Amino acid sequence: MSQPLIDLQHISKRFDDTLVLDDLSLSVKENSFVTLLGPSGCGKTTTLRIIGGFESPNTGKVIFGGEDITKLPPNKRQLNTVFQKYALFPHMSIADNIAFGLKIKNKSKAYIDDKIKYALKLVNLNGFEHRSIDSLSGGQQQRIAIARAIVNEPKVLLLDEPLGALDLKLRQDMQYELIRLKNELGITFIYVTHDQEEALTMSDTIVVMNQGYIQQMGSPEQIYNEPENAFVADFIGESNIVDGLMIHDELVEIFGAKFACVDKGFGTNQPVDVVIRPEDIDLVKPEEGTLQGIVTHLIFKGVHYEMEVTTPDGYEWLVHSTDMFPVGEKVGIHVDPFDIQIMNKPASEDEEAVGVNE
């Protein structure tokens, strides 16, 4: 197996009395798109800043290309950062903004001019060299910030919630632009966001964080379809997370009803957490369902209908379907065995936070 480009080894970080990262280890392969995803305060931006050299860990090492760069300042690292606040210089032209890092490195004028043209072409802003920063939209300013970062030919581009200030349509456009740029340039991207859809759309690898720990790391499909704990299941997309009893391998009881599933190794008559995605619930005739309930809420979402189905135990099941069932209708709930995800119940609140980094 090839050596990772970036290897964070047992990183811990405190701010005063607050432990922000606790013994965090993370490897990033070259030319990958890795997204650090989690709620505010989970430690994702601190992790990015430690990789970038803007923060020093209290313990642990940052290894880059096999070398220890833990104490190396940001300008000596082969990486560039794009922040949510683009930090462009308003008194400079676009060309001067892009050329800023190259001038510090004493590159020739011809080299700098070539690089400016190349970078503007990459971000689809040909001919913008002499425009002022104030004349640009938010999306265009974002592209200039990216252009300024990539002209320095970094091995790694760090992006800290760079699309957070853009409206939805622009944000979606920029997601595709970033994927295209990564593929064209062959740069490793490490991206911080709290937006699940953004993470699922763009990443090769998603690192879900909470309370300074990595909860789960994997491909978007693994994270979405096979969450390792209730936090990940709840944070990535929408989920029905209910108490279950694992009767034996491939059979789980939910609210007194027995559902076939594909999971094994959870023991006999063991309490478990059961995750069922809203889109994986089929609403059928009452007598055809494993559970029965009444539709108590209905919203049309464009692509699908979002419904709540309340079962006799009082639980409100969230259901996404292209078929509409009116409020008040009695329905049956059917779920295919492959769409039922079984997880061990955490032994304590600490374990719930710790997840896989225990």
Task: Report the CATH number that the domain containing residue 207 is assigned in CATH.
Answer: 3.40.50.300
Looking at residue 230, its pLDDT comes to 87
Q: Has residue 320 been placed in a domain?
A: yes
The predicted structure's pLDDT at residue 356:
43
Residue 107 lies in a domain: yes
Q: Based on the number of CB atoms within 10 Å of its own CB, is 338 exposed (0-12), middle (13-18) or buried (19 or more)?
A: exposed
Query: What does the alpha-carbon distance between residue 273 and residue 165 come to, in Å, rounded to a whole number?
Result: 37
Amino acid identity of residue 77, one-letter, is R
Structure tokens that stand for 89 in this block? 């210089």
Q: What is the DSSP letter of 257?
A: E
Q: Are residues 201 and 327 in the same domain?
A: no
Q: Give the domain range for residue 242.
A: 238-344
Write out the two tokens for 294: 């009444």
What is the C-alpha to C-alpha distance for residues 112 and 106, in angstroms, rounded to an integer? 10
Q: Could you tell me if residue 53 is inside a domain?
A: yes
Distance CA 358, CA 20 (A): 15
Could you tell me the two tokens for 190?
């490490």
Angle at 35 between CA 33 and CA 38, to 5 degrees: 175
Q: Which residue has the higher pLDDT, 334 or 88?
A: 334
Q: How many domains does the chain have?
A: 2
Secondary structure E strands in 255-357: 257-260, 270-276, 282-284, 291-300, 305-310, 316-321, 330-334, 341-344
220 within some domain = yes
Residue where a domain terminates, one of 196, 225, 254:
225
Decide if 231 is inside a domain: no
Q: Which residue has the higher pLDDT, 255 or 126?
A: 255
Q: Is residue 260 part of a domain?
A: yes
Q: What is the pLDDT of residue 1?
A: 56
Residues 300 and 203 in one domain: no
3-state secondary structure of 338: helix
Question: Does one domain contain both 122 and 242?
Answer: no
Residue 176, both tokens:
């595709």
Residues 25 and 97 in one domain: yes
Are residue 21 and residue 94 in the same domain, yes or no? Answer: yes
Q: Say if CB 211 and CB 223 are below 8 A apart.
A: no
For tokens 């082969």, the residue is 78
Q: Which of 37, 12, 39 is nearest to 23 (CA)?
A: 12
Which tens digit of pLDDT belongs to each residue from 65-74? 999 999 999 9
Domain-ending residue, one of 225, 251, 268? 225
More confident residue, 143 or 48: 48
Same structural domain, 153 and 34: yes
Assigned domain for 349 exists = no
Q: Are residues 209 and 247 in the same domain?
A: no
- Exposed, middle or buried by CB within 10 Å (0-12, 13-18, 19+), for 57? buried
The region of weakest confidence among 184-193, 281-290, 294-303, 328-337 is 184-193
* Residue 325, domain CATH: 2.40.50.140
Do 61 and 179 lie in one domain? The reply is yes
Instruction: Read off φ and ψ for residue 215, nearest 5 degrees.
Output: -85, -40
Q: Are residue 138 and residue 273 in the same domain, yes or no?
A: no
Predicted confidence at residue 347, as pLDDT, reads 65
The mean pLDDT value for 143-171 works out to 83
For 88, 143, 301, the CA distances from 129, given in Å and listed in that order, are: 14, 13, 43
Query: How far apart are the C-alpha atoms of 347 and 147, rounded to whole Å?
Result: 48
Task: Judge if 279 and 140 occupy the same domain.
Answer: no
Above 60 in pLDDT, residue 82? yes
Answer with the one of 194, 225, 256 that is the final residue of a domain.
225
Q: Are 346 and 258 in contact (CB under 8 A)?
A: no
Domain assignment of residue 233, yes or no: no
Model confidence at 354, in pLDDT bands (50, 70, 90)?
very low
Residue from 35, 20, 23 nearest 223 by CA:
35
Does 84 lie in the same domain as 16?
yes
Question: 86 pLDDT exceeds 70?
Answer: no
What pTM was estimated for this model as a whole? 0.83
Q: Is there a single domain that holds both residue 171 and residue 250? A: no
Q: Can you give the pLDDT at residue 34?
A: 97
